Amino acid sequence: MKTALVLLALTLGACAADSTPVELGTEPGAPPEATFDEAFGREAPGPFGGTACGTAAPGACEPMPLASSGIAPLVDAGVVVDQAAPSLSAPSALDGPCGARVRELLRQPALPGAPELEAKRTRILAYAKTEPVLFTRVPAVESPATPAARTYRSMIERASGPWGLVQRLLTVFAQNPALGRAVLLREGYLYAERPELAFALVDLVRAHHLFDEPRIWIQRGQNTLFAERSSGQYVYSDGLQRGQRVRLLLFDRIGAGEPSAPAHLDFRELRRSLGFDRVKIVHLADGAVAAELRYDGLWIPSVLEARGASLSLQCEVVPPDLAPRIAAFRAEQARKARVVASLRRAMLAGVDEGLPFDEPLTEYGQQDGQLRRFWLRAYQEGRASYELNGDRYLTFDVRGRPLVPQVCVDFVFDTLERASGTWWRPRGERPARVVGKLDFGTLSDETLRRAWSFVELAQNHPEWFDTHEVPESERIPLKHGGSLAEYLTEQADGFLPGDVVLIRGYAPWDKPWRPRVMHFHSFFVYESDPVTGFPSMLVGNPGRPLLQTWQFEAFRTPNRSIWYRMRPTLSWLEQVVEVNGDDETNFGVPPLAAGPT
């Protein structure tokens, strides 16, 4: 019998097949996380991971089409525009001082933006964890560059699959961070206009590959964070992530010393403060932006002042008869922001704790979902560990936080319950589950721990959830990356932060001698792009809780497609969720980089 304490294996599991009521958790034989890393080392990944399409044949993956640009003219996909609103397409018709300011701004020289990047915006958001800023110009490559820097940069730019090449070069850059900066950064930006390179940079590059100074700064959106070098790694020295290891996002800007003027604008913070849900950029000028901001389907001409990366509203053209409608929409957006901030806090708690997936390391038959029962007994008896099939598991982490095993739908149930105040007491306190305003009863009725049970719960409680079943004709397998990205952009209003998404399909690790069974997996939409509305970040437990992209899910199970979207109703969330009055102030825009601590 094994005696060493081990953490749960971080398998890339998923939820059970709905056809077998007793099955819980991941599909049997799900590949370990190492397989994920090895697979991405292949030299020629196609859309959403290349061989995820189930074949290495050239052209087997459908290429992703160019997405709508954030620079006008922007095709507004799937949005009905109220023609009663004024428009920047006819600036001469805009009344009042703001109309005059718009016309003045439109006469100023336009900044170039980054049109090639904007043409691939949603494709890149689908591939890589990204801070979705808007560039006023393309950041420049370091000049003059050394011959080595020019050679390495050229090799990376020409590689059809840059992941493996970047991985090999990191050992060189760790010894020579200045060379790493010259090759991988543009004016300090972790920047890429190709989705494959974007993925490689975010997946592989760490701050210590780029710097060896004792203190650096990271510009993310309009915020500047600081980090200090410790034991060869950089950890944040301020902000909400103080003490955590630095995880870089695409379009982060990294440097030492005094930052120069940025080449990007942050629309996420502006969206949070104003309450619009989409932006169309009409004219970028030095220090100002002419844009249309969408409120309840109305595109409102607005002038934005730019100070560095930060934006603020200078003026807007709102007809008096539309002002009450816009004010009501802004008020509703503020209400939604408060409850979704509480949900995100619960989501990030699971990510921070690294809650283990409920699948035994050693499994006889189908035993997914059984670890929670053994964990509960150990927790109630105050034991530090428990055993199943000869393997030993920890009851608490090193900080005394309960390590509650989860199948993927448990993450959904647990997040909603935690946001209501329901969770387990830490080590050192009397073992108990503190019950807040919400308890789904999954402890007493384990049949609820199936994705299909969550669908039934949502359908039976329309006052709790707005349930949308995707028509069969619209169920696009994740391997068809282009069609999926187009669909998610067109249907962006159907996939908002806080929504629960269920995907279903056959898994690549199913044994060929077993009957084929379609499997569910569930996760939340975590964040969206303020420009296109694309649901850019997801969060769930596919092996451990993590923030993830559509690319990640497409690689794991390319034949799955979206079947259901469940949206918790605002009225219900306001009844059950504990809202911290300082959530919006303390949280600001939600962090897009997080991991276990």
Same domain flag for 441 and 523: yes
Cα 534 to Cα 370: distance, rounded to the nearest angstrom:
37
Q: Provide the residue type at 470 as one letter.
A: V
Cα 410 to Cα 368: distance, rounded to the nearest angstrom:
12
Strands 5-6 and 391-394: parallel
Q: Provide the residue type at 402 as one letter.
A: P
Cα 389 to Cα 371: distance, rounded to the nearest angstrom:
10
pLDDT the model gives residue 336: 96
Structural domain includes residue 78: no
Q: Which domain range does residue 155 map to?
A: 139-260
Same domain flag for 380 and 243: no
Average pLDDT over residues 186-193: 97
Q: Tell me the pLDDT band of 367, cut-offs 50, 70 and 90.
A: confident
Question: Considering only CA atoms, which of 348, 522, 403 is closest in space to residue 8?
Answer: 403
SS3 sequence, 417-451?
Answer: HHHCCCEECCCCCCCCEECCCCCCCCCCCHHHCCH
Beta strands in 212-257 (DSSP E): 215-220, 223-230, 233-236, 253-255
Under 8 Å between Cβ of 564 and 468: yes
Structural domain includes residue 441: yes
Average pLDDT over residues 332-340: 96
Under 8 Å between Cβ of 583 and 345: yes
Structural domain includes residue 64: no
pLDDT the model gives residue 62: 32
Q: Tell me the pLDDT band of 11, cut-offs 50, 70 and 90.
A: very low
pLDDT the model gives residue 581: 63
Average pLDDT over residues 63-84: 35
Average pLDDT over residues 508-525: 87
Average pLDDT over residues 372-382: 96
Phi and psi torsions of 324, nearest 5°: -60, -40
Same domain flag for 346 and 288: no
Average pLDDT over residues 31-49: 30
Mean of the per-residue pLDDT values of the chain: 85
Cα 536 to Cα 125: distance, rounded to the nearest angstrom:
6
Helix 408-419 × helix 451-460 angle, to 10°: 40
Average pLDDT over residues 315-328: 95
Same domain flag for 206 and 293: no
Cα 554 to Cα 483: distance, rounded to the nearest angstrom:
13
Question: Considering only CA atoms, which of 321, 323, 319 is closest in space to residue 331?
Answer: 323
- Is residue 58's pLDDT more than 80? no
Count how many residues are written for the chain: 597
Cα 426 to Cα 423: distance, rounded to the nearest angstrom:
9
Domain stops at, among 245, 260, 275: 260
Among 50-64, 289-303, 389-403, whose mean pLDDT is lowest? 50-64
- Give me the percent of the chain exceeding a pLDDT of 90: 74
Under 8 Å between Cβ of 326 and 308: no
Average pLDDT over residues 366-387: 93
Under 8 Å between Cβ of 84 and 322: yes
Cα 303 to Cα 293: distance, rounded to the nearest angstrom:
10
Same domain flag for 487 and 526: yes
Average pLDDT over residues 567-580: 95
Average pLDDT over residues 5-19: 38
How far, CA to CA in Å, does 426 sit from each of 353, 371, 431, 437, 578? 12, 19, 8, 20, 20
Average pLDDT over residues 69-91: 49
Residues paired with residue 135 on neighbouring β-strands, in sequence order: 264
How far, CA to CA in Å, does 585 sit from each of 79, 577, 581? 31, 18, 8
DSSP state of 71: B
Q: Backbone dihedral region of 327: left (phi > 0), alpha (psi from -120 to 50 degrees) or beta? A: alpha
Structural domain includes residue 313: yes
Give the model confidence (pLDDT) of 487-497 as tens digits: 999 999 999 99
Question: Considering only CA atoms, which of 269, 273, 293 is closest in space to residue 281?
Answer: 293
DSSP state of 382: T
Same domain flag for 484 and 403: yes
- Give me the percent of the chain exceeding a pLDDT of 70: 85
Domain stops at, among 214, 245, 260: 260
Same domain flag for 347 and 280: no
Question: Considering only CA atoms, which of 404, 127, 289, 498 is closest in space to residue 280?
Answer: 289
Structural domain includes residue 341: yes
- Is residue 369's pLDDT more than 50? yes
Cα 294 to Cα 18: distance, rounded to the nearest angstrom:
40
**Structure tokens of 156?**
């990376």
Q: Tell me the pLDDT band of 509, cut-offs 50, 70 and 90.
A: confident
Q: Tell me the pLDDT band of 69, cut-offs 50, 70 and 90.
A: very low
Q: Provide the residue type at 495 as one letter.
A: F
Structural domain includes residue 53: no
Under 8 Å between Cβ of 210 and 185: yes
Cα 114 to Cα 89: distance, rounded to the nearest angstrom:
22
pLDDT the model gives residue 41: 31
Sheet arrangement for strand 385-388: 5-6, 391-394, 385-388
Average pLDDT over residues 41-45: 31
10 Å Cβ neighbour count for 127? 32
pLDDT the model gives residue 249: 98
- Is residue 53's pLDDT more than 80? no
Q: Tell me the pLDDT band of 587, cut-offs 50, 70 and 90.
A: low
Same domain flag for 245 and 309: no
Give the model confidence (pLDDT) of 433-488 as tens digits: 999 999 999 888 888 999 999 999 999 999 999 999 999 999 999 999 888 989 99
Q: Provide the residue type at 38 as one letter.
A: E
Structural domain includes residue 353: yes
- Is residue 393's pLDDT more than 50? yes
Cα 209 to Cα 2: distance, rounded to the nearest angstrom:
38
pLDDT the model gives residue 84: 59
Helix segments in 395-516, DSSP class H: 408-419, 451-460, 481-490
- Any long-range contacts for 240-246 (C-beta under 8 Å, 24+ apart)? 240/586, 240/587, 240/591, 241/591, 241/593, 241/594, 243/597, 244/595, 244/597, 245/595, 246/206, 246/207, 246/218
| Number of domains into which the chain is organized | 3
Question: Considering only CA atoms, which of 110, 108, 106, 97 is closest in space to residue 315?
Answer: 97
Same domain flag for 202 and 270: no
Domain stops at, among 273, 292, 320: 320
Under 8 Å between Cβ of 268 and 311: no
Same domain flag for 552 and 481: yes
Structural domain includes residue 127: no
Same domain flag for 253 and 270: no
Q: Provide the residue type at 260 as one letter.
A: S
How far, CA to CA in Å, does 342 sit from each of 7, 136, 254, 411? 28, 33, 30, 15
Identify the residue with better confidence: 24 or 596.
596
Give the model confidence (pLDDT) of 246-273 as tens digits: 999 999 999 999 999 999 999 999 999 9
How far, CA to CA in Å, does 458 sit from each of 282, 452, 465, 469? 41, 10, 5, 11
Same domain flag for 472 and 358: yes
pLDDT the model gives residue 71: 33
pLDDT the model gives residue 86: 79
Among 63-67, 352-356, 415-419, whose mean pLDDT is lowest? 63-67
Under 8 Å between Cβ of 270 and 311: yes
Give the model confidence (pLDDT) of 437-451 as tens digits: 999 998 888 889 999
Cα 92 to Cα 469: distance, rounded to the nearest angstrom:
45
Average pLDDT over residues 105-125: 96
Tokens 């059984």 belong to which residue?
Answer: 370
Tokens 């962090």 belong to which residue?
Answer: 591
Please report which helix (H) or strand (E) contains residue 563, including its range: strand 561-568
